[in-house]
Amino acid sequence: MARLTVERLFSNPPLTGTLPTEIRFAPGGDFVAYLKPAEEDRERLDLWRLDLAEGTHRLWIDASVLTDPDAILSDAEKAERERKRLFATGITTYAFSPDGNCLLIPAGGNGYLYDIGTADLRRFTPEDSRQTDFTFSPSGRYVSYVRNGNLYYYDREADREMAVTNDGGGLIRNGIADFIAQEEMHRFEGHWWSPDESAIAFTRTDESTVAVSQRYEIDADAIRVIEQRYPYAGETNADVSLLVHELAGDARHTVDYRHAPDDYLARVAWAGKRLAVQVQSRNQQTLYLDFHTPGVTGRDTVIEERSDTWINLHDNFRSLDGDRFLWTSEREGNAQLYLYSNGEPTRLTSGSGRVEKVLHADADRVVFSGWAEDPTEQHAYTLSLAGGDPVRLTADAGWHDLSVDTATGRCIDRHTSLTSAGAVRIIDPTTGSTPLWPEDGQADPYAEYLPAHVTPELGTLKAEDGQTLHYRLTRPASGGEAHPLIVYVYGGPGVHRVRNEWAPLLLQLFAGRGFGVLELDNRGSSSRGPAFEAPIYRHMGEAEVRDQIVGARFAQSLDWVDPERIGVFGHSYGGFMTLMCLSKAPDVFRAGVSVAPVSAWELYDTHYTERYLGTPQDNPEGYERSAVFPYLDGLRGRLLIMHGMADDNVLFTHTTRLIKALQSRCFPFEMMAYPGSKHALQERSVSIHRFNMILDFFERSLPG
């Protein structure tokens, strides 16, 4: 029986990701396009198509003909990849023109147009240039993009490029989302076409307002001093303006979106000839939805959401017809769906479940994803805007991710569960379900490891305040008693890890080496509503740690777990949690691996940190209590710290400060730094090295 190894997990062909990604109906619905890793290179994605009538799959566009693996990425491309957590190369995204006759393919910093009828593929961006943020206009006549901080668009009919801005470069960037918007608001757009293509709204970011801080980027051959405009908690953010450029005559209007000088530009969309702008206050306790008419002074504020803690942003605004639009809000508990008409809201959903994402909306109905009873599952629902109860579209238990064909109402459903690595099907409202993947006879590269595969199990515990905590438990592959157990933790807000889905195969590495693994979504985790998230407000690393202790105590009660051999492992917020668990509960956690940890929250950025802690100026006690340093005297167990030495998110300074504090206490620990690696540590060689080291560390630190 084959045992999974670290080397095999990160080698070709990929054991995970055998299902396609970015699956989309072509306009007209005759075929489906998708991305799939190349057999010879798991990190490169190629574009494929499936002709539905014939049921045949074929490689459509080979990414190797579009990209140069040795090309040097621009700083904007590096930032985009890091913020979007893009670890693949080749074709990572694509778009159909609205008429379905053409494909837009960004690849290697260039823009390509592919004529579907003639199979003509041509590059339309200039030679020796690199671009990001490619976007089709609503009719497909124009393609917009950003180069060297300036916004351009290409007119397909006239075959010419037009510049929207010319002041970009250095500290000025036009048409591209700023660091805070991308990293913390998950707004990746920096420009938006009007429905009639007469205008394009765009952001202009001036980073001169952010103080210069220096950090070292260390790789194998050099040490560089990077002057970074990093907006530390409590400090000044970049100045983000919103403008509207009219294509005819080049008139330009500034949209005065701020209610207060330090407000955030959270979301932008067009609603007919007006801009729908979501504005978030600096303390994130107020969110406005305003309508602006370009060139006209003033705003129409139609929604003002308020919270005593913070307001979670969403992407569920949908403009319908007239003054009608859709909106989700947590004002009455977990996120529910509302229909606004002439400024008046009607609540469309109810119950204790959650509306997660609006997938499609038209004048008559809405399709959305979320959960009704069990937060470990995700399903899709359709709902008539005229009233009635939502109708569930997805039948099988597990986790469903859907995309909707707006023309026909068909859905592509990508489904996984604890017992299924995944399947893709078409859900047709009239004809039912049609399976697409896996293909008949398709080889499964994981097949030889299936006999040793351990299926995780789900369960619930109770937090100290009575709220339900969900966990996922993976038993060791070998039977018997007295096994060590690893608590694999993230623990931070914005993440929901415990799901009824095909679990990361990393868990099988631990199981195959005789470890059990426990994952628990503590209070503060996402997708459970304000009451579940609120306990971390103004002080982090407290309720979360107490919940992880509840999970570890439960594990200690199991007859196959050695209660004296409990370890903890996490990355980023999980690295912070590892340090807090080891320091606050040394009688429970005997060893830990802390990867890229936050050690002091004043070293992290404004939007994320202030959402939960406020500013260091107004909550100094909360910042002190939420740092790891006051608790390091409690450390007793074995500790391994890992960090990328070019991390521009959780800066390496977090770890150097931690190292100094541990050395001053004469506390022995192990350390591994990765030159040139950023926060995700995604390079194949780095992944193989660090996970082999982690397994070895736990085997040495939690011996039988």
> How would you class 209 by CB atoms within 10 Å of its CB: exposed for 0-12, middle for 13-18, buried for 19 or more?
middle
**Helix, strand, coil % over all residues of the chain, rounded to 5:** 20, 40, 45
Q: Are 635 and 254 in contact (CB under 8 A)?
A: no
- Percent of the chain at pLDDT > 90 equals 82
> How would you class 378 by CB atoms within 10 Å of its CB: exposed for 0-12, middle for 13-18, buried for 19 or more?
buried
Question: Strand 670-674 relative to strand 638-644: parallel, antiparallel, unpaired?
Answer: parallel
pLDDT of residue 17: 55
- Which residues are CB-neighbours of 457 under 8 A, at least 6 positions away? 418, 472, 473, 474, 475
DSSP run (H or E) holding 317: none
Q: Are 666 and 481 in contact (CB under 8 A)?
A: no
pLDDT of residue 614: 98
Question: Which among 194, 594, 679, 701 is annotated as catalytic?
Answer: 679
- Which residues are CB-neighbours of 684 under 8 A, at least 6 positions away? 10, 11, 43
What is the C-alpha to C-alpha distance for residues 256 and 241, in angstroms, rounded to an integer? Answer: 8
Question: Which among 647, 648, 654, 677 is annotated as catalytic?
Answer: 647
Give the other-Cβ count within 10 Å of 235's Cβ: 17
pLDDT digits (tens, 9 = 90+) for 224-261: 887 889 999 999 999 999 999 999 988 999 999 999 99
3-state secondary structure 498-567: CCCCCCCCHHHHHHHCCCEEEEEECCCCCCCCHHHHHHHCCCCCCHHHHHHHHHHHHHHCCCCEEEEEEE
41 is catalytic: no
What is the C-alpha to C-alpha distance for residues 264 and 283, in angstroms, rounded to an integer? Answer: 10
- φ, ψ at 49 (rounded to 5°): -140, 150
Mean pLDDT of all residues in the chain?
94
Q: Are 281 and 263 in contact (CB under 8 A)?
A: yes
What sign has the CA pseudo-torsion 199, 200, 205, 206? negative
- Which string of b and e fits 483-499 if b means at least 16 CB within 10 Å? bbbbbbbbbbbbebbbb
What is the C-alpha to C-alpha distance for residues 67 and 108, in angstroms, rounded to an integer? Answer: 5
Residue 37, helix vs strand vs coil? strand
pLDDT of residue 441: 67
What is the C-alpha to C-alpha distance for residues 561 and 123, in angstroms, rounded to an integer? Answer: 59
- φ, ψ at 137 (rounded to 5°): -75, 165
Domain 450-701 has CATH 3.40.50.1820: yes
What is the C-alpha to C-alpha distance for residues 481 and 511, in angstroms, rounded to an integer? Answer: 14
Question: Which among 572, 583, 594, 701 is annotated as catalytic?
Answer: 572
pLDDT of residue 365: 94
DSSP code at position 184: I
pLDDT of residue 480: 84
pLDDT of residue 432: 79
Q: Tell me how far apart the 2 most distant CA atoms of the chain are, in Å.
A: 78
What is the C-alpha to C-alpha distance for residues 614 and 14, in angstroms, rounded to an integer? Answer: 43
What is the C-alpha to C-alpha distance for residues 378 and 328, in angstroms, rounded to an integer? Answer: 17
Q: Would you list the domain boundaries of the chain?
A: 450-701
> How would you class 212 by CB atoms within 10 Å of its CB: exposed for 0-12, middle for 13-18, buried for 19 or more?
exposed
647 is catalytic: yes
What sign has the CA pseudo-torsion 259, 208, 681, 12? positive
Mean pLDDT by 10 residues, the chain (704 residues): 91 77 89 89 90 90 85 75 76 93 94 96 94 96 97 97 96 96 96 98 97 81 84 97 95 97 98 97 98 96 98 97 95 96 95 95 95 96 94 95 87 95 88 83 85 97 98 94 96 96 96 97 96 97 98 97 98 98 98 98 97 98 98 97 93 95 98 94 94 98 92
Partners of 434 in the β-ladder:
426
pLDDT of residue 18: 63
pLDDT digits (tens, 9 = 90+) for 420-469: 999 999 998 777 788 888 877 677 889 999 999 999 999 999 999 999 99
What is the C-alpha to C-alpha distance for residues 433 and 413, in angstroms, rounded to an integer? Answer: 10
What sign has the CA pseudo-torsion 568, 572, 573, 576? positive
> How would you class 448 by CB atoms within 10 Å of its CB: exposed for 0-12, middle for 13-18, buried for 19 or more?
middle
- φ, ψ at 693 (rounded to 5°): -70, -40
The residue with tokens 């008949």 is 440
253 is catalytic: no
- Cα 319 to chain centroid, rounded: 24
Q: Are 133 and 143 in contact (CB under 8 A)?
A: no
DSSP run (H or E) holding 34: strand 31-38
Q: Are 196 and 139 in contact (CB under 8 A)?
A: no
3-state secondary structure 666-687: CCCCEEEEECCCCCCCCCHHHH
